[in-house]
């Protein structure tokens, strides 16, 4: 069972195997106790074996498991060895040991992902082999949009487990948008009292005539957030929240109308948006708005210990600012050239505010317009161009170009593909994604922190739809972000498909409603629900 995903750097297979038995012990050395607790829990559930605690490394001999640190290894690097002496996992940090433990779980077979043993008399064995492995990028992310369609806390925890199983380590938590505000802010209770639910929802693309007339909503309490962050940390995943400003903010304006451009429209008439697209109702560039969102971020910083805080910054239509006497007065007061520079000033304010508190601002590549805020990190989504520009200017970049890693895009051109959005992006297309543009010099390329797959949920009404769009393509993305692969055209996709044959069984055991290689199952289709398919290959931007 050596069909590993993501592909390790080096695997040397020996002869023989290590069998876990009722006598096997699990030893966790200093600083690896958390990994040991996690591994013991999941393996006890799946195997029914007790895996008693070992008190010293020798307890792992013959048929046990030993975990320990090796400071000579890189931070997320691990060394895996299974031989006549037992199974040993060494890592440069607890995270490295954890990724090695994930490899062990894969080696034990698909049933190691189940929550109860299917057969208590079965043999649990790992072949003798040695693995040397480490990730290519420190940022291996998944963005999950819970603003358009809310996902329960249990669903989020499940996705953290799925991320960990694929050695992904950054969870970008898209918490606010025009269609919903999903995090409790105690000083501003209307954000969830009003902003967390909408009266109805467009079913399909925004051109669809169909509506779901059932109210939709939900939010995470601050204790829910603490639980999610702690659960992620146990799996060596960093949670990065996104609070969208100054666009994508109608839910906040519906809750607190004074945040909008009150000199242009009657903001008291706005409700949480019930359809999709780019919304014209954006935040007013006033001191009141700045103070309000400083209050939001103050509470967020207590909930999210991550170095990075995402502020959106994308798709901010500036028509209201052009019409607003207050916005025009602000432009004149600050000596700015235009509305693009006004947005840059808005983002720059929060860049300085977060920097003063030891955090770093991340924004979508529109934050480049009007001048990039000092210290800001760019999420390059409209192709590679924004990331290239930012890296050449000395700014760190996360590559997530929509043409390659937007998982809401359709997976096939077939008529049975549910609610088809944009261009076709197959499993192979994702596998051939290259995060580092060839135009960058070696020094510039060091600013590419890594890559991220984005799951926008406008047309994903439940977790089964999210699963369908996300998998199996997330497995291909995980290998791109982790493994040192050759150039895209030289990648062995046939070998990846071979390994996926085994990986589908793991996804089955995890209960993932992925898209089968042969196409959607009958219950995965959405006949008659209008999408927005585009023909041909996507533009290479």
**512 and 162 in contact (C-beta within 8 Å)?**
yes
What is the per-residue pLDDT for 60?
Answer: 75
The phi and psi torsions of 305 (rounded to 5 degrees) equal: -80, 5
Q: What does the alpha-carbon distance between residue 451 and residue 476 come to, in Å, rounded to a whole number? A: 12
Which CA distances in Å does 384 have to 170, 387, 441? 20, 5, 15
Residue 1, pLDDT above cutoff 70: no
State the pTM of this model.
Answer: 0.98
Q: Which helix (H) or strand (E) holds 427?
A: helix 427-431
**89 and 67 in contact (C-beta within 8 Å)?**
yes
Residue 201, pLDDT above cutoff 60: yes
Residue 394's region, left for phi above 0, alpha for psi from -120 to 50, else beta, is: left
pLDDT in tens, 494-522: 999 999 999 999 999 999 999 999 999 99
Cis peptide before 12 (omega within 30 of 0): no
Q: What does the alpha-carbon distance between residue 140 and residue 95 come to, in Å, rounded to a whole number? A: 13
pLDDT in tens, 88-145: 999 999 999 999 999 999 999 999 999 999 998 899 999 999 999 999 999 999 999 9
pLDDT in tens, 442-481: 999 999 999 999 999 999 999 999 999 999 999 999 999 9
Three-state helix/strand/coil letters over 65-89: EEEEECCCCCCCCEEEEEECCEEEE
What is the per-residue pLDDT for 57?
Answer: 81
228: Cβ contacts below 8 Å, ≥ 6 apart:
153, 156, 157, 160, 173, 220, 239
Task: Tell me the three state secondary structure of residue 378.
Answer: strand
**419 and 529 in contact (C-beta within 8 Å)?**
yes
Q: What does the alpha-carbon distance between residue 223 and residue 69 come to, in Å, rounded to a whole number? A: 32
What is the per-residue pLDDT for 314?
Answer: 97
Instruction: Give the pair of three-digit tokens for residue 387.
Output: 């990331």
pLDDT in tens, 47-92: 999 999 998 887 778 899 999 999 999 999 999 999 999 999 999 9
- How many percent of the chain have pLDDT more than 70? 100
The phi and psi torsions of 223 (rounded to 5 degrees) equal: -70, -35
Residue 360, pLDDT above cutoff 60: yes
Closest CA to 5 of 171, 92, 133: 133
Neighbour tally for 412: CB within 10 Å: 15
What residues act catalytically?
177, 248, 315
Which CA distances in Å does 280 have to 77, 196, 256, 348, 536? 47, 19, 17, 22, 30
Q: What does the alpha-carbon distance between residue 219 and residue 195 come to, in Å, rounded to a whole number? A: 9
Q: Which helix (H) or strand (E) holds 344?
A: helix 339-355
Q: What does the alpha-carbon distance between residue 263 and residue 284 come to, in Å, rounded to a whole number? A: 10
- What does the DSSP 8-state code read for residue 260? B
**264 and 271 in contact (C-beta within 8 Å)?**
no
pLDDT in tens, 138-190: 999 999 999 999 999 999 999 999 999 999 999 999 999 999 999 999 999 99
Which CA distances in Å does 394 have to 349, 450, 525? 20, 15, 45
**Look-up of token digits 């304006």:** 253
**83 and 18 in contact (C-beta within 8 Å)?**
yes
Q: What does the alpha-carbon distance between residue 409 and residue 228 come to, in Å, rounded to a whole number? A: 27
- What does the DSSP 8-state code read for residue 205? S
Residue 315's region, left for phi above 0, alpha for psi from -120 to 50, else beta, is: left
Beta-strand (E) ranges in 21-175?
25-28, 52-53, 65-69, 78-83, 86-91, 124-133, 139-145, 170-174
Among 365-374, 410-419, 425-434, where is mean pLDDT lowest?
365-374
The CA radius of gyration of the chain, in Å to the nearest whole number, is: 24
């Amino acid at each position: 069972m050596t069909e590993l995903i993501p592909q390790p750097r080096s695997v040397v297979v020996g002869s023989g195997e290590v069998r876990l038995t009722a006598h096997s012990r699990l030893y966790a050395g200093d600083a690896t106790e958390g990994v040991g607790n996690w591994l013991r829990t999941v393996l006890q559930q799946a195997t029914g074996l007790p895996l008693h605690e070992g008190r010293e490394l020798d307890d792992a001999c013959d048929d046990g498991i030993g975990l320990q640190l090796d400071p000579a290894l890189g931070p997320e690097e691990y060394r895996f060895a299974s031989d006549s002496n037992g199974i040993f996992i060494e890592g440069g940090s607890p995270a490295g040991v954890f990724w090695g433990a994930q490899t062990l779980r894969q080696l034990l077979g698909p049933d190691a992902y189940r929550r109860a043993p299917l057969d208590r008399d079965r043999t649990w064995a790992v072949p003798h082999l040695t693995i040397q492995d480490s990730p290519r990028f420190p940022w291996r992310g998944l963005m999950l949009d819970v603003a358009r369609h809310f996902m329960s806390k249990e669903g989020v925890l499940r996705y953290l487990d799925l991320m960990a199983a694929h050695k992904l380590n950054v969870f970008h938590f898209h918490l606010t948008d025009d269609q919903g505000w999903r995090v409790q802010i105690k000083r501003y209770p209307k954000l969830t009292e009003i902003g967390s639910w909408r009266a109805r929802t467009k079913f399909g693309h925004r051109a669809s005539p169909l509506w779901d007339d059932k109210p939709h909503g939900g939010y995470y309490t601050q204790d829910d957030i603490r639980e999610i962050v702690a659960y992620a940390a146990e799996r060596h995943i960093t949670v990065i929240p996104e609070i969208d400003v100054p666009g994508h903010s109608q839910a906040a304006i519906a809750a607190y109308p004074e945040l909008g451009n009150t000199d242009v429209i009657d903001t008291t008439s706005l409700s949480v948006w019930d359809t999709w697209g780019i919304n014209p109702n954006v935040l007013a560039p006033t001191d009141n708005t700045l103070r309000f969102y400083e209050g939001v971020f103050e509470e967020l910083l207590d909930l999210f210990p991550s170095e990075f805080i995402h502020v959106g910054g994308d798709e901010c239509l500036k028509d209201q600012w052009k019409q607003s006497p207050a916005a025009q007065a602000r432009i004149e007061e600050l000596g700015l050239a235009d509305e693009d520079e006004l947005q840059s000033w808005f983002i720059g304010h929060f860049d300085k505010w977060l920097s003063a508190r030891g955090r770093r601002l991340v924004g979508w590549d529109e934050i480049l317009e009007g001048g990039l805020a000092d210290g800001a990190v760019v999420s390059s989504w409209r192709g590679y161009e924004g990331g290239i520009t930012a890296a050449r200017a000395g700014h760190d970049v996360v590559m997530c170009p929509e043409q390659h890693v937007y998982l809401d895009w359709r997976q096939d051109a077939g008529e049975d593909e549910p609610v088809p959005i944009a261009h076709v992006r197959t499993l192979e297309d994702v596998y051939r994604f290259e995060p580092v543009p060839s135009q960058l010099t070696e020094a510039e390329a060091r600013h590419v922190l890594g890559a991220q797959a984005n799951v926008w949920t406008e047309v994903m009404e439940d977790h089964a739809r999210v699963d369908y769009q996300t998998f199996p393509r997330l497995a291909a993305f995980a290998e791109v972000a982790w493994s040192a692969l050759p150039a895209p055209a030289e990648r062995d996709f046939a070998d990846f498909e071979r390994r996926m044959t085994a990986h589908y069984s793991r996804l089955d055991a995890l209960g993932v409603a992925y898209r089968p290689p042969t196409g959607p199952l009958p219950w995965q289709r959405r006949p008659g629900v209008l999408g927005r398919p585009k023909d041909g290959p996507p533009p290479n931007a």
